[in-house]
Amino acid sequence: MQRETVLNTLVFLLLPAVAAAALVLDEPFTITLATRAAILALAAVGLNLALGLGGLVSLGHAVFFGLGGYAMGILASHAQSYVSLDLGLFTIEGTKSMPVIWLVAVVTSALAALLIGLLALRTAGVYFIMITLAFGQMFYYFAISWPAYGGEDGLSIYVRNDFPGLNTLDPIQFFALVFVLLAAVLWLMGRIEHSAFGLALGAARQNAVRVETVGLSPFRLRLVAFVISGAVTGLAGALFADLNRFVSPTMFSWQMSGEFIVFVVLGGIGRLYGPVVGACLFVLLEHMLSGVSEYWLIYLGAILLFVVLFARGGVVGALVGQGVRHD
Amino acid sequence: MTEPLLSLQGLSKSFGALRATDDVSLTVQPGEIHALIGPNGAGKSTLIQQISGGLSPDAGRIVFDGVDITALGAAARAQAGLARTFQISALAMEYTVLENAVLGAVGASGAVWRFFGPVMRGASVRVVAEAALERVGLANDARKRVSDLSHGQRRLLEVAVALTLRPKLFLMDEPMAGLGAEGSARMTVFLDALRAEAPILLVEHDMDAVFALADRISVLVAGRVIATGTPDQIRTDAQVRAAYLGEEAAP
């Protein structure tokens, strides 16, 4: 536990250290890379609550990532075209305000997670994976075939959205914003893990009968976890879209869901900082190896295979020197 | 006659052609230990499952504390005051002994929807959990992982978690299994005192324990209750001796 705390602190400081170094060396692209890593880490931190603590292998978390992305894209596109958004019963104005966009992204993905969870959590194992995957594909093809917001081509937003008091187009300021959000969510997840809810959720993963025997419903515990998990991934989606100033159906793709699982497994399932390590490693490898070969994912596959076969606790587990999670 | 706390009324359950539970009716009175015995395959586990909510009966009613609970799920029955312990331990194996006990206290207190406070520092649930571990003699093993416990210790932990629920009725499936002679003797003394807190429906293979503890015994053979009575009545019941005790109690 002690070593894991030290490691967590180092990982936590790594991203801002890289960004600060890049600022000094005047390498804005590296800052953008660090921002990308932090956003993907945030998405995977969300997944980790469902996957790591709850044991729910969701192959549909791209739904929430995409919804967050499109929440940003749709609101910002209406703001930049000065056309209000007609929702039938009423119309709303578009917005370029990040806090409002984040709120919409979080609420939308939480609602989607609630609906998907209500259906998918009635099943377990392979069926749960398949249902979440099916929902992912539904959203993906819907986004492709919906011409209003770019369809297959996606949707470009010309100027990054605003945050009060910051110039978000300055890479380091946007990075700082993203990093503060990541830190806040990590803090929150740490609290949840050690809360009464976290204890019960973890027990439901280990033995659902045990949880029922003490009078708790595993279904409700998992549903709440799935909703929180989806909301966090949705927030990451809004940030990801803002980073790229572009949204496309790719954010809904099952490959995206798969990447989130890879981040979690690579870093260490169920470990608070596992997804952060996994996402950073992924972005680093992507950056270094994609220059070597366009088939760089083969190398990633080999690394993942190694982790799954020989280091079940992921990179964090291997460095801390224990294979199994929890203290 | 006092109102029974638990009353099974004509329960039946079939798996294909097998009648695992065949028109079973029995009651558990306040303050009593009612033992359920029967040879292997008699349908004891199937019956316990129906009472705890793991299986739903094909026919019949289960009335607990004046309420028909036949349609309730396992979690709701636990909330209503039914505490079950398992023949094969059903514990959170990655957690420590104390964490398992705290989970019980959390379930009983209804304080599960708390997302921020560290639960292991929650004074009230911790007190309940530690008191329960103390009572079964696991206080010194509180920090051990369940996966590192012996089978007997896991059985004790099952009982401790049941205690944290402060139930109205204990439903115990072979609490003596794996305890050894000395452990069984201690558990017998413990259960003897426990009936004052809440009655126990006890499934047990250890006949010394059953005849020492039970106020009443029901004998289940091939899904049917063939006899219910005091230990003395059961000991002398010809049908029971033929069907069951004869095999084990023969000189």
Interface of A with B (CB under 8 A): 191-192, 194-200, 202-203, 206-207, 209-218, 221, 224, 324-326
Residue B248: its pLDDT value, please?
52
User: Is the pLDDT confidence value at A327 over 50?
Assistant: no
Interchain contact, A211 vs B108, CB within 8 Å: no
Portion 174-203 of B in contact with A at CB < 8 A:
none
Model confidence at B125, in pLDDT bands (50, 70, 90)? very high
pLDDT-above-90 percentage for chain A: 76
Residue of B74, B95, B122 lying closest to A213 (CB–CB): B74
Count chain A–chain B contacts defined by CB atoms under 8 A.
109
Which residues are bridge partners to A162 per DSSP? A97
For A135-188, write each residue's pLDDT tens digit: 999 999 999 999 889 889 999 999 999 999 999 999 999 999 999 999 999 999
Q: What is the rounded radius of gyration, in angstroms, for the C-alpha atoms of chain B?
A: 18
A122 vs A117, A126, A218, A223, CA distance in Å? 8, 12, 10, 10
Residue of A200, A212, A325 lying closest to B112 (CB–CB): A200
Indicate the pTM of the whole model.
0.93
Helix (H, G, I), strand (E, B) or coil at A19: helix
B77 vs A50, A159, A313, CA distance in Å? 27, 57, 37
Interchain contact, A202 vs B118, CB within 8 Å: no
The answer to which of A1-15, A118-132, B82-96, B120-134 has the lowest mean pLDDT is A1-15
pLDDT-above-90 percentage for chain B: 77
Please tell me the distance in Å from B75's CA to the nearest CA on chain A: 4
Residue of A192, A215, A217 lying closest to B115 (CB–CB): A192
Model confidence at B237, in pLDDT bands (50, 70, 90)? confident
For B170-201, write each residue's pLDDT tens digit: 999 999 888 888 889 989 999 999 999 999 99
Residue B251: its pLDDT value, please?
39
Which of B51, B94, B98 is the mutation pick for testing A, counting most A CBs within 10 A? B94
For A23-58, write each residue's pLDDT tens digit: 999 999 999 999 999 999 999 999 999 999 999 999
Which of A49, A193, A205, A214 is the mutation pick for testing B, counting most B CBs within 10 A? A214
For A239-277, write each residue's pLDDT tens digit: 999 999 999 999 999 999 999 999 999 999 989 999 999
Helix, strand, coil percentages for chain B (3-state, nearest 5): 40, 25, 35
The interface predicted TM-score of the complex, written ipTM, equals 0.91
In terms of DSSP bridges, do strands B82-85 and B169-173 run parallel, antiparallel, or are they unpaired? Answer: parallel
User: Is the pLDDT confidence value at B1 over 80?
Assistant: no
Per the CB < 8 A criterion, the answer to whether A103 and A97 are in contact is no
**What number is the average pLDDT over the span A213-237?**
97
CA–CA distance, A125 with A166 (Å, rounded to integer): 45
Contacts of range B107-113, beta carbons closer than 8 Å, 24 or more positions apart:
B107/A200, B107/A211, B107/A214, B107/A215, B107/A216, B107/B78, B107/B164, B107/B165, B108/A214, B108/A215, B108/B164, B108/B165, B108/B166, B111/A196, B112/A196, B112/A197, B112/A200, B112/A216, B112/A221, B113/A196, B113/A197, B113/A224
